[in-house]
Amino acid sequence: MKIIDGKAVAATVLLECQQEIAELLEKGIQPGLAVVLVGEDPASQVYVASKVKTCAELGMHSKKIVMPATSTQAELLDVVQQLNNDPTIHGILVQSPPPPQINEEEIINAIDPRKDVDGFHPQNVAKLVLEDPSGFVPCTPAGAMRLLAAAGIDTNGAEAVVLGRSMIVGKPMALLLMAKNANATVTVAHSRSRDLPALCRRADILIAAVGRPEMVKADWVKEGAVVIDVGINRIADPSKKSGFRLTGDVAYDEVASRCSAITPVPGGVGPMTIAMLMKNTLQAARQINGL
């Protein structure tokens, strides 16, 4: 059984980014990423800090904008518009989830699709469907595909089951696995699917992205399957200093022994998300500058 080390693969991706940034700097281009955070959600603050820190380590320009939790839709749209017009910014990310008064869909649609490094704008979603490489692929599924490649997993003709149908992970993940360069046979399963355990047992490659702690049990997994656990859930744990522990959507301890390869949580897909965000920002910097 192989444990797929997301930290190691992410380090490789960031090294590639570093070399690319050096080449862009020689051409007088410093890639720039803006992260907008509305409110003070603790998990979002951790993510944003991590993105800003990674930018600094790579020599990228970053702009962090923190807006009060009471901000209006118009105020946030105004900030997005300023960033769309800012030539030093190539990637714009509005941290999700925003407070309830914010219409997230309208915000996503307002971001210049050339700077939509999250890959959620309708134009980029369409490019993913059309397999147009100039579009941006959402970072988490892009990271999961990179992990499969790094672990030497052949997706060609494999039966893949994606558990979850969100626009952030499930749907783009299914499209990437179906694409001509992956050639998997894909089933998308979700909370309304009949007999989820039986569906999951068919999978040569099982992608778990439902956001339910340890939902996938050993008897859901075929012997020798590859399991990519996208879930990151906080579970109360008084034995930990923080008062909680992180767990995935897969019951790791009981599932791992059945797998040929599996990603741990933490340290699997998580580190890849930020690495692929940096990759997308560099792609944006190149494309905006006509390279």
Q: How far is CA 177 from CA 205, 215, 261, in A?
A: 10, 23, 17
Q: Which of 51, 115, 171, 222 is catalytic?
A: 51
Residue written as token pair 């999978």 = 203
Fill in the DSSP letter of residue 245. Answer: E
> What amino acid occupies position 120?
F
If you compute the radius of gyration of the chain from its CA atoms, what whole number of angstroms results?
19
For tokens 């970072």, the residue is 139
Main-chain dihedrals φ then ψ at residue 172, nearest 5 degrees: -60, -35
Is the separation of the CB atoms in 181 and 142 below 8 Å? no
What secondary structure does DSSP assign to 171-219, as a single string?
HHHHHHHHSTTT--EEEEE-TTSTTHHHHHHT-SEEEE-S--TT-B-GG
Cα 218 from Cα 221, distance rounded (Å): 6
Provide the b/e sequence for 46-63 (b: ≥16 CB within 10 Å).
ebbeebbebbeebebbbb
Pick the catalytic residue: 112, 116, 118, 229? 118
What is the Cβ-side half-sphere exposure of residue 109, based on CA atoms within 13 angstroms? 5
Sign, CA dihedral 44-102-87-24, equals positive
> Rounded to whole angstroms, what are the CA distances from 223 to 71, 118, 196, 261?
50, 35, 17, 11
Active site residue 95: yes
- Residues annotated as part of the active site: 51, 95, 118
